[in-house]
Amino acid sequence: MKKIGIIGGGAMGSGIAQVFAQYGHPVVLYDTNKEALDRSKQNLAKTFEKLVAKEKYTAEKAQEIQNNIEYADSLSAFASIDLMIEAIIENLDIKKSVFKQVEEIVSDECILASNTSSLSIASIASACSKPERVIGIHFFNPAPLMALVEIIPAVQTREGLADEVKALIQSVGKLPVITKDTPGFIVNRVARPFYSESIRLLEEGVADAETIDFAMTSVGGFRMGPFELMDFIGHDVNYRVTESVFESFFYDPRFKPSFSQKRLFEAGFYGRKSGRGFYNYAEGVEKKAPSQDQALLEKIYKRVLVMLINEAADALFLNIANREDLDTAMTKGVNYPKGLLKWADEYGLENVQNDLDELYNYYHEDRYRLSPIIRNFVKENKTFY
């Protein structure tokens, strides 16, 4: 069993600790804030009480798992760990500083990983004297429930380390996918049009939020509509990720944020957590009934879908990840009803090409440019599967 050191006693760090502890790994959970550690311990105890009540574990087994976790307020507790996973604030300078500190304490063989959702692993690794042992291991929230884990080798990461980490992640019941160290990795990159194109439809007055959400759930089969989902995630999180991906892609118009969401973010209307976002969550306020116009619902669904397909296809074209990992990431990371490349084959690549060319010809905006792989496949009569 590998000894795992986790930095950050928040929801993500605690969740990752639970994952490894459940599979018998000794875990050291470190945080500078003792209150955060105490809260993490209490929350974990409550979680296991519920799991015992549901008969997922016996009381003895639940206690044994909790005993696998040591709570530490000093980094010296990391002296004997085999793998460090950092799960703290998404701030590059702070992460680099932490990696530098940890490297002075752990052994030369210890793997150093970041749970960042969008920051450059190469940049984090550059702070280390042995950057070849640095890698990204991105769990999704809540870590104990979400199957997907993105594994991100940096340009400095030694050959073979990604496969070693993949085997370890599989051994704790997760579904790992390997992705290039590019902004947003797979999920946060490919999912952007689900939000941005839906907001564009709203801003253009094509339909209201209720109707766009209804189109994506009723016609598209998505579990939540884009506006419900953004309000659920929180605009303090979702907008910042969009902004970060846009900047990191050298301001590629495909990832351009919207003023509508920026204004909600600036106003502190973060969604459910603040009581107001695209929807008003105050008591007694009801959502408007969505339009039942089937032609309108189809139009909305198709426009958002082809944008998503195009993003997934472009990620394949640029070798960000392989076909299977791209589709797994979207079904297991954000619960899409189908992998987007399989969906592309079903929808018809020629239809995707025609829809996007029509949008591009209408708007003359680079956000609607078709990925070359789709044009090539149509020409050669090929499919993704």
DSSP 264-327: HHHHT--BGGGTBSSSB-STT--PPPPP--HHHHHHHHHHHHHHHHHHHHHHHHTTSS-HHHHH
Closest residue by Cα to residue 231 from 254, 260, 200: 260
| Torsion angle (degrees, nearest 10) of CA 286, 292, 295, 300 | 20
The residue length of the chain stands at 385
Residue 50 has φ and ψ, to the nearest 5°, of -65, -40
Burial zone of 72 (CB within 10 Å; 0-12 exposed, 13-18 middle, 19+ buried) = middle
Catalytic residue among 25, 68, 120, 150: 150
Structure tokens of 328?
């797994």
Q: Is 138 a catalytic residue?
A: yes
Q: Which of 118, 138, 198, 244 is catalytic?
A: 138
Q: Are strands 111-114 and 4-7 parallel, antiparallel or unpaired?
A: unpaired
Number of CB atoms found within 10 A of residue 360's CB = 15
Distance between CA atoms of residues 160 and 153, nearest Å? 10
Range list of H helices, 191-270: 192-203, 209-214, 226-233, 235-248, 259-267
In angstroms, the Cα distances linking 69 to 46, 52, 61, 143 are: 15, 18, 13, 16
Residue 335 annotated as catalytic: no
CA–chain centroid gap for 302, Å, is 23
| Residue of 14, 40, 68, 188 marked active site | 188
Annotated active-site residue in 40, 115, 117, 371: 117
**What is the rounded (10 degree) CA torsion for 147, 185, 141, 42?**
110
Structure tokens, 226 = 């884009």
Helix, strand and coil in the chain, % to nearest 5:
55, 10, 35
Q: DSSP character for 158?
A: P
218 an active-site residue?
Answer: no
How far is 161 from 138, CA to CA, in rounded Å?
15
Catalytic residue list: 117, 138, 150, 188
